[in-house]
Structure 1
Amino acid sequence: MPDVATPIVSSRTGSSTIQPNTSVRPGPSIAAPDSTPAAQAVVLARQAMNNKQWTQLSNQIGPASGDILGIYPEYWYLRTQIAAANMPDTHQALMRFLKKNEGSFLADKLRGEWLLHAARSGDFITVLELSPVLNGNSQISCAQLEARHMTAQRATVAEATKVFAPVGACWKLFDQLVADKVLTGNELLPYLQDFIENNKVTEARRFAAYLFDSNDLATYDAMMRDPQKWLAAQSGDRSTAVNDIVAIALARVARTDLNKAEELVRTTWANKLPRLNLQWVYGQFASLAVFSFDPRAYGWYRETFGIRLSDTNHAWRVRASLRQAKVDWGWVQRSIDQMGLPQRNDPTWVYWKARALAAQGKEKDARQLYESIAHHFNFYGQLASEELGRTIVAPEKPSPVTAEEIEQARQHLGLRRAVTLFKRGWRGDAVPEWNFALRGMTDRQLMAAAELARHEHIYDRVVNTSDRTSKEFDFSQRYIAPFEGRVTAQAREIDVDPAWVYGLIRQESRFIMDARSVVGASGLMQLMPATAKWVAKKIGMTDFTPQKVNDFDTNTKLGTNYLSMVLADLGGSQVLASAGYNAGPGRPMLWRSKLDSTVEGAIFAETIPFNETRDYVKNVLSNATYYAALFTGQPQSLKERLGQIAPQPYGRANAQ
């Protein structure tokens, strides 16, 4: 049976350009010139820093001071001196830098690095004196909490669990809180179980050491060496700790042989383990089975009701339910209700709970939930709007950004530094510098900063900056369409929806022409080298060389052609083709073949087993819907764009 084709409100015809919502013309770039002696000193300092030539780095601090980036060489040098912060001269130099550059990104960064060094050496007074750090992270939060705890402000369980991540300062915090009996078995066992679930055995071992006494820890270690052999040797009565270890052993066996683990439970352990342990084991079986669409996953999840699950397993318990030929909407609702409050309030689960309520005839309650997320400009906000009978349109334009507002942005020291970093090719430094500069900005200031980024052709910052506004929304920025005539021409040439292409580029590269992923994908449309070569051969691009993959016309021509090929191979479904573009065409073919019945596109998208691809598909289709509204000026439907996906036997893709 072929896929149910996706009916789309087309943006192929009658499209208009997305014009900036301002008449202010771009001025000259605010980037500082890179040819001055001071700018060259910054370059030399950077080279010295990268080569760990600290004397040469120190020698460039004075000559670099006249450049807008002159703060960087001094920061690079001082961070190497933090270990000597207790020496008077070094301490004074660090404090002088913080005072002189107060409010800057680098002063805040140096403050955080100094704070972490102080925490590692047990100097908790200095940790508190250096707080707060504006651009914090888990390491800093854990160090600050430990410092408060060690200076007579006893930490609580809630504070500790809120900040924990498996990083150095947090391990140090937990070491102390376990020793002080702030954290006990009730709080520690879930961490151990979740790390086992995620196959993080090193982290799990640390929590086992927190949780078990020396004898039980030796038992745990023996089990981890050979879980199946260890299980076979178990007999007699068991303590609570050993029952927990038995459950972990069954989960470890399941990771390598799920059928064997299921047999062990059925023949030996179903009547020996306490119910709570057994339910957790079933949850582990389900978490392994669900990603291969093993039909047993749903039944195992039904056995877990009432126990604590990880956030990941809570989510997959609902997703497994949504994939059933006949969805038990009451079970979907109850499963969502058992999530923790932050997860339950995520628009994903608000939407699916509303769907569950509506399916049970509770329309008033469902509408209240839809209304609570319909204002979100994302996948589930759009779907909620449609459930309320509304179509998808761009919001009303805000008042245009004025020349005065843009001039204020042009004078912002943090933005000027960031733009200079971008223009000198130091994106890794530029992005955090830019983001730090946005702190505390009003909607008007954010839109002015986004417009400045447009003037500077830094298109990813246009999108990311405008996305931060909370009351005024400029979709000419959020859904910017640079190079529109050229991209649209490429798309129309092969009859591909330009709105979809733009939705994909926005997600793939944020319009960074030389973007390169960690796996080697390149350019606006993030093509892998082998894919680019293969497509070039298919379409007869005889002059293609790997060096051309970042060239605008080459990248978009190859990318749109590849997208068209994937779309054709996958029955015209933009859901499947978007998934195929991200994960390879064979993957959505496999996932489609595992369906028991036709499902709506939203369910297929939500139950994609790869986190990255699942989010990618939802974002691309949401983006495309807004681009279509902007290009055509007509109301759109995400539900129509998603369509339905029908089962089809797995077949080999015609595209790579």
Structure 2
Amino acid sequence: MVRRVIGYPGFGGDAVRAATALRPRAWAWGLAVLLGLAGCAGAQAPTTAEQQAGEAPRTGQTAPASHVSDVAATQIPTPVVSAPAPVVVPPAARQAVQDAYDAVNKRRWAELDRLVPLAAADPVLGLYPRYWALRNRLQDRARPVPDAEVRQFLSDAAGTYLGERIRADWILAATRAGDYAQALQVPAVDDPSSSVRCALLLARHQSGKRARASEVLDIFQPNADCWDLLDQVAADHVLSRKELNGLLRDTLETGKRGNADRMAGVVFDDAAMVQYAALMKNPRKWLESRSQPRSAVDFELMTIALSRLARADDRAEAARAIQERWAGWMPKADLQWVWGQFGLVAALNVDPEAVRWYRQSGFVPMTDYNHAWEVRAELRAAPLDWGRVAAAIRKMSARQADEPVWRYWYGRALAAQGNTEAARQYYESIVDEQGFYGLLAAEELGRTPTLPEQPGPLDPAWVAQARANPGLQRAVALFDLGWRREAVPEWNFALRGMNDPQLRGAAEFAREQHIYDRVVNTSQLTRDVADFSQRFIAPFEGQVAAKARLIDLDPAWVYGLIRQESRFITDARSRVGASGLMQLMPATARHVARKIGMKDFKPSQVNDFDTNTILGTHYLNMVLQDLNGSELLATAGYNAGPGRPKRWRAQLPAPVEGAIFAETIPFTETRLYVKNVLSNAVYYAMLFSGRPDSLKARLGMVSPLSGTRTALP
């Protein structure tokens, strides 16, 4: 019996960290097939990086150029693939691999070293214990870097994911050891992490090629390896006082006190750090004891202290105190940054006063995060001033303003101001986006949302090629062991350089193995085709839809929610204990079971398919009824709890269209969740019915009093 651990960082109601699932039987092609959508076999994947940033993939037919061939799919010859020879894995060797995994988790390094030669006989996963042991030695600062052993490993693991990983580990270890020449000689790592980039820049700087301030600011992230870089370039005066102050302000904005204190230690001397610690403890008390600042350090400390008042419960009173007592002492730009912090904190608390403070911030540079919230604050303002929405978007960097979310809202602002032709061009630029704002842009253009044309059948030879791919085989073996943390990057590494047919073949291979998230993530990398039979699936032969219809729920909405919650993994389990297809918390499951009279319910049944879907659909219906029948509010309530959308709605100064409410949800996870679920629902509705569906109609309007959904013209 094969067991598989499922985990999905960064999506759904919670980040699903681990679950144990029996490999399911081979499901039929799913409800899509029953509805006449032949070929719609596939599965769901975690949100992409762009989805986690607030958007669906840049288009359904686009992938990074580095990941796909430049040759159109129709021009690629079909491969001739011989059936791969069966791989014989000695049971004792595979057991040694599993024992090594346990030893790593328990930090039993001597035991791991003993298991490495035993595991080497595993032709699929035998390199993993050796990698873990070598990585441990590379991370041990008390031991010399084992350069010769690393070179041998790279020779034996050429072209593999582990070879790529060990190069990154080698760069970090060599830099920490001060062997900068060796760090710079390591073969290049594709898509290096910020830690590796920081290490390489430090090595280059220490080798005589001085780092530029722009390079440091571009790659710096608060982590151990980047702190080494920052300490060195600060000591060498690569960064100006203004640039260091900017890094500190940006770090303070994140609310991560440990990182902020570490950054302050780079910016301030010991005497100033005493003052910094005092103002962070009690900014109002510190400010009341101060006289007019005299030095640059005094001004920076006072700016930070004033910004911290934004986090007080009496924010409005604190703002009045600033105006009356301290504003006259402060340079205009510093004071504007303070008002930007007041605007941000207020916006995150859905406080209508946010727009007033943002408007006092002028054009002072802010973080992308803060610029986004200024636009959201303007969208919630009453009356809605589209000119100010447009002005807030123009404050953004060109890169940020080019994101689909802001192109859509800028188009709306242009249209509201009578510039319909320019608005149309903005909508046209994102209408092919497969997601929330692509659907909304199509409706603004007066077009009926439709599904992309389904590509022709995939030649089985491409699937056979995927089955024979050693990297994909390793990933499947890791999934079968439940080691998702290792399996996902192994799978993704194997996809590099694949063309469209190869990616579709790999996605079908993942479907065969019931690794549903890899199906969609893999298929989304195609450039010239958009295969919705892989990207959207409704598995379980219509059983979910049947349960939804029993209580008059829209099956498309239910499927859209499940796609986001669990990716159709029945035994998915979140880090906070939510379980099953519809990710129910234990207390919620018990409550719903009592409400619907499920007298024989036991907590151990929560992962059972029928039990989970019955309880989940009933709970969703309860939330829907509690929130006046609004799918928008109920989706937010399912994720964040029903009380929160009620509070967010109550703080609206006037009714708003649903798209504005969705975009201004203050919880990032819930905001993305709502947009993904509802755009999923539109696609499922079109797949199920074969007819167009309207996202704007699903979103409706949200009132500060009732929150009812009303049809839009």
1:61 CA drift (Å): 2.9
1:520 CA drift (Å): 1.4
Task: Report if the CA contact (8 A) 1:191-1:204 is conserved.
Answer: no
Answering whether residue 73 of structure 2 is matched by residue 16 of structure 1, we say no
Give the AA of the match of 1:313: N
1:638 CA drift (Å): 1.0
**Within-5 A mapping of 1:130-529:** 130-134=186-190, 136-213=192-269, 215-236=271-292, 238-257=294-313, 258-529=315-586
TM-score, scaled relative to structure 1 = 0.92
The 1:83–1:615 alpha-carbon spacing in structure 2 relative to 1, beyond 3 Å, is: closer
The 1:208–1:45 alpha-carbon spacing in structure 2 relative to 1, beyond 3 Å, is: closer
1:35 CA drift (Å): 7.4
1:84 CA drift (Å): 7.9
The 1:170–1:13 alpha-carbon spacing in structure 2 relative to 1, beyond 3 Å, is: closer
CA deviations 1:593-639 (Å, max 9, x no partner) are 11222211100000111111001000000111111111111122111
How many matched pairs? Answer: 638
The 1:47–1:121 alpha-carbon spacing in structure 2 relative to 1, beyond 3 Å, is: same
1:409 CA drift (Å): 0.4
Q: 13-22 vs 340-349, which deviates more?
A: 13-22
1:319 CA drift (Å): 0.7
Answering whether residue 133 of structure 2 is matched by residue 77 of structure 1, we say yes
**Within-5 A mapping of 1:536-615:** 536-615=593-672
The whole-number CA distance in structure 2 between the counterparts of 1:13 and 1:207 is 53
Give the AA of the match of 2:628: G
Task: Report if the CA contact (8 A) 2:138-2:145 is conserved.
Answer: no
Give the AA of the match of 2:100: A
Give the AA of the match of 2:160: S
Give the AA of the match of 2:368: D
1:51 CA drift (Å): 3.4
1:549 CA drift (Å): 1.0
Segments of 5+ residues of structure 1 without an aligned counterpart are 1-11, 652-656
Answering whether residue 97 of structure 2 is matched by residue 42 of structure 1, we say yes
The whole-number CA distance in structure 1 between the counterparts of 2:304 and 2:399 is 27
Give the AA of the match of 2:692: P
Task: Report if the CA contact (8 A) 1:22-1:401 is conserved.
Answer: no
Give the AA of the match of 2:485: G
CA deviations 1:206-237 (Å, max 9, x no partner) are 33343345554443334334322221122245
The 1:446–1:98 alpha-carbon spacing in structure 2 relative to 1, beyond 3 Å, is: same
Comparing both chains, which one has the higher relative contact order based on Cα–Cα distances under 8 Å and sequence gaps of 6 or more?
2
The whole-number CA distance in structure 1 between the counterparts of 2:105 and 2:270 is 46
1:650 CA drift (Å): 9.7
The whole-number CA distance in structure 2 between the counterparts of 1:643 and 1:439 is 42
1:643 CA drift (Å): 1.1
The whole-number CA distance in structure 2 between the counterparts of 1:57 and 1:214 is 45
Task: Report if the CA contact (8 A) 2:386-2:416 is conserved.
Answer: yes
Task: Report if the CA contact (8 A) 1:15-1:632 is conserved.
Answer: no
The whole-number CA distance in structure 2 between the counterparts of 1:245 and 1:508 is 44
The whole-number CA distance in structure 2 between the counterparts of 1:53 and 1:251 is 47
The whole-number CA distance in structure 1 between the counterparts of 2:690 and 2:228 is 56
1:649 CA drift (Å): 6.4
Give the AA of the match of 2:590: K
The whole-number CA distance in structure 1 between the counterparts of 2:219 and 2:581 is 36
Give the AA of the match of 2:548: A
1:76 CA drift (Å): 1.8
**Within-5 A mapping of 1:106-145:** 106-134=162-190, 136-145=192-201
The whole-number CA distance in structure 2 between the counterparts of 1:495 and 1:274 is 61
Task: Tell me the residue number matched to 1:8.
Answer: none
The 1:237–1:140 alpha-carbon spacing in structure 2 relative to 1, beyond 3 Å, is: closer
Task: Tell me the residue number matched to 2:67.
Answer: none
Segments of 5+ residues of structure 2 without an aligned counterpart are 1-30, 43-81, 709-713
Give the AA of the match of 2:106: N
The 1:238–1:472 alpha-carbon spacing in structure 2 relative to 1, beyond 3 Å, is: same
The whole-number CA distance in structure 2 between the counterparts of 1:419 and 1:323 is 47
Answering whether residue 73 of structure 2 is matched by residue 54 of structure 1, we say no
TM-score, scaled relative to structure 2 = 0.85
Task: Report if the CA contact (8 A) 1:18-1:481 is conserved.
Answer: no
Q: 250-259 vs 546-555, which deviates more?
A: 250-259
1:259 CA drift (Å): 3.6
The 1:467–1:60 alpha-carbon spacing in structure 2 relative to 1, beyond 3 Å, is: same
CA deviations 1:32-63 (Å, max 9, x no partner) are 67773322222222233333333433333333
Task: Report if the CA contact (8 A) 1:108-1:135 is conserved.
Answer: no
Task: Report if the CA contact (8 A) 1:378-1:619 is conserved.
Answer: yes
